[in-house]
Amino acid sequence: MRFHVVKRDNWPLWKRAVAYLIAVVAALLIGAVILLAIGVNPIDYYYQLFTMGTVGNRFAYKTFMNYIKEFLPLALTSVALSLAFKMKFWNIGGEGQFIMGSISATYIALTLGQTLPMWLTLIVMCVVAMLVAGLYGLLAGFLKVKFGTNETLMTLMLNYIALYLLYFIGETKASWNIFLQESSMRPVFVNFSKFVSFPSIKMGGKFELNICVILTAIIGVLIYIYLKRTKHGYEISVIGDSVGTAKYAGMKTNKIVLRTAFISAALIGLAASFKVGSAGVLSTAITDDVGWTGVIVAWLAQLNTGMIFVVSALICVLQFGSTVAATTYAQVDSSFANMLQGIILFLVLAADFFIRFRIVRVKKGE
Amino acid sequence: MDKLSVITSFVHNIVVFNIPLLYGTVGEIMVEKSGSLNLGVEGTMAVGAIFGYIFGCYANSLGVGIMVAFLAGALFGLLFAALTVSLQANQNITGLTLTTFGLGIYFFVGNSVKANGWPVMGNYSNIKDGFADIDIPLLSDIPVIGRGLFSHNMLVFLGIAIAVGVWWYLKHTTLGLKLRAIGENPAAADSVGINVKRMKYIHICVGCGIMGIGGYYMGLNMSGSFNSSCWINGYGWIAVALVIFANWSPAIAIIGTFVFGFFNTLRVSGTSIAAAFPDQFGWLAHIPTQMYQALPFIITAIVLVVMSIRNKRGSSGLPSALGQNYFREER
């Protein structure tokens, strides 16, 4: 008996949803087995993880605000990456673009922050960060279009070049280095939160909603419309399907690739300026790995803008919750979240196969 | 004489600290030659390292450690192959997740073992002695560079041997030729009767196994001291870069390892060289360490661009089908 694999026509949405649900539940079960093996009650642990310890906690609003701080950059970065991925442009340079954005945003805050009004500084920060990050992404796009340079490998290299630039800035005491505190002997980043910071809106009680949350939501909607309802969005999806088709249809593919690579990277720069603008200080770990995690989130969400927000919210629960749960269960390392995240993605990828393909038995003699 | 010993130890360090790069690179070359881009080198090396080290210590045998490291890496390769070859999953995503997953396992297993008593390398005589330097007779007596190049632990020699072996395999055997054919054009290879799936599975697993041994080496080189930063510490990513630098040739990878290693070692020993030769190399003390760390990636980025310009004339070792899954029904 032999089998072969055939592409499947579109499965109904509910069947796909069920397939993914099974994958996630199976991943959690595997996680539970691991927890049992080291003598931890998985139900208690998962309860702690998924509630992030907020139930019955007087400071739950603080937990939630911290959670939002992690969620925003990840969601925005993932949305940005999905633009490029839709076009099959493998921008895995999110880390580097985020770093370039955060360095330039910090530079603006430090140089203009005390002279300009705050709202103007914040706008300049965002614009400059978008430009610098966008150009950094455009570099890979340009090389791809001009010489056919592999963009996956190129953006990977650019990540590390940016990372060591950030380390250089963060570890070198010198008179030119305005990023570090002059008074401190050890290299410490200047904190500018006193004069530049994204404003928060009181939401009743002690809960505050940062303006970046609202901006990110608006950008999410705009990107959704951009991809689904505009000519640009249509061009991106045609190129994603086949460059040949796009060329045949008379599209200027090079221009579209460059434009999209720039927009994708620029949005990551914006995410970076939101991040430093809220934190009020640069750090060598400013990215929090959003460039890497964002790739996984975008893919898990099938590059669907709405789903990206849902998936990044869940991934953040996983990462944030695991650090909270680690305070109760010292024997479960917070790296458990990374492991679980991996298992979930592997099983979702496997589920994806059964959604895209079906296995047909080949009868003898055929 | 003292000045010369600075050179000797410099050369020695280039080899000792950078051979793991060679393992990672040769393993990745094998994987990429089959047309698969595995971005999970870092994670694969990490699982090889942690399992190899722990089991090697428990068995008090370097051989067991190497075997387990190979197997752990190969299992990761199997996971990658199952997802990308059989289940048609995207290679970039799978590879990146393999890194997250591998580092997750590394810390999870490491911290769990540490909670019950970490095996200290010094207590396991066979591991410690097995990892000690071996002098190659005559060659290691060459003044200045002899001890630097020819007095090393057995894993250094094993790494070079694997690199030469894989180079020969890819270049001079029928199987190697078939593998390269798959990397260039899997459909064409399939049509002349090569079992594409099986070849991909085998070479991805073996390649990842080699990376695993490289990870184990890094653990041993750190004397097995487990703390908050991973033993692999970005070497997996440098290996991905080195594959490009080496133009997908294991032989050039040996040279590339020493080139990258040269900068890597300058970062550490730059000040001592500057102190020993203040007139000639005094300027070395002024170069920021981050420059050395970034150099492998800067060089590779340049190589990548130059190669893609030259590629239009077809002299690159980049497998044409790299990163694309092969779906037989779409031939």
* A153 close to A93: Cβ distance less than 8 angstroms: no
pLDDT digits (tens, 9 = 90+) for B238-294: 999 899 889 999 999 999 999 999 888 888 777 778 777 887 777 777 888 888 889
pLDDT value of position B314: 58
Which chain B residue's Cα is nearest to A167?
B290
* A189 close to A170: Cβ distance less than 8 angstroms: yes
Which chain B residue's Cα is nearest to A347?
B83
CB-closest option in B37, B93, B301 to A158: B301
* A299/B237 Cβ within 8 A: no
Residues on chain B touching A337 (C-beta within 8 angstroms)? 104
Residue written as tokens 């208690």? A44
Domain limits of chain B? Answer: 2-325
Report the share of chain A in percent with pLDDT over 90. Answer: 49
Query: pTM for the full model?
Result: 0.90
Find residues 128-157 of chain B whose CB sits inside 8 Å of chain A. none
A364 confidence band (pLDDT: 50, 70, 90): low
Where do the H-state alpha helices sit in A113-210?
Answer: 118-147, 151-171
Residue A189 DSSP symbol: B
In Å, how far is B151's CA from the nearest CA of chain A? 33
Most B CBs within 10 A among A150, A163, A300, A336, hence the mutation to make, goes to A150
Residues on chain B touching A171 (C-beta within 8 angstroms)? 290
In Å, how far is A342's CA from the nearest CA of chain B? 5
Residues on chain A touching B291 (C-beta within 8 angstroms)? 164, 168
A1 confidence band (pLDDT: 50, 70, 90): low
pLDDT value of position B330: 65
Query: What average pLDDT is seen over chain A?
Result: 89
CB-closest option in A157, A336, A350 to B87: A350
Residues on chain B touching A333 (C-beta within 8 angstroms)? 107-108, 111-112
* A340 close to A50: Cβ distance less than 8 angstroms: no
The SS3 of residue A359 is: strand
CB-closest option in A161, A171, A341 to B294: A161
B242 part of contact set with chain A, CB < 8 Å:
no
Q: Which two tokens stand for residue B263?
A: 């900068």
Q: Which residues on neighbouring strands pair with residue A361, listed in sequence order?
A: A3
pLDDT value of position A54: 76
pLDDT value of position B1: 46
Q: Which residues on neighbouring strands pair with residue A201, listed in sequence order?
A: A209
Contacts 24+ apart (CB under 8 A), A352-356: A352/B87, A352/B89, A353/B86, A353/B87, A353/B88, A353/B89, A354/A19, A355/A8, A355/A11, A355/A15, A355/A16, A355/A19, A356/A7, A356/A8, A356/B88
B309 part of contact set with chain A, CB < 8 Å:
yes
A155 confidence band (pLDDT: 50, 70, 90): very high
B227 part of contact set with chain A, CB < 8 Å:
no
- The highest-confidence range among A111-115, A320-324, B163-167, by mean pLDDT, is B163-167
What architecture is the B2-325 domain classified under in CATH? Orthogonal Bundle (1.10)
pLDDT value of position A242: 84
pLDDT value of position B331: 53
**Selected residue with higher pLDDT from A148 and B31:** B31
pLDDT digits (tens, 9 = 90+) for A175-201: 888 899 888 888 889 999 888 888 888
* B96/A295 Cβ within 8 A: yes
* A167/B305 Cβ within 8 A: no
Determine the angle formed by the axes of helices A42-51 and A305-328, rounding to 10 degrees.
120
Helices (H) and strands (E) in chain B, counts: 14, 2
* B105 close to A339: Cβ distance less than 8 angstroms: yes
b/e A122-132 (16+ beta carbons within 10 angstroms → b): bebbbbbbbbb
Q: What is the mean pLDDT of residues B49-61?
A: 94
CB-closest option in B83, B288, B297 to A160: B297
In Å, how far is A185's CA from the nearest CA of chain B? 18
Residue A366 has pLDDT above 60, yes or no: no
* B20 close to B187: Cβ distance less than 8 angstroms: no
Report the share of chain B in percent with pLDDT over 70. Answer: 97
pLDDT digits (tens, 9 = 90+) for B82-111: 999 999 899 989 999 999 999 999 999 998
Residue B39 DSSP symbol: -
Residues on chain B touching A358 (C-beta within 8 angstroms)? none
The ipTM (two decimal places) reads 0.89
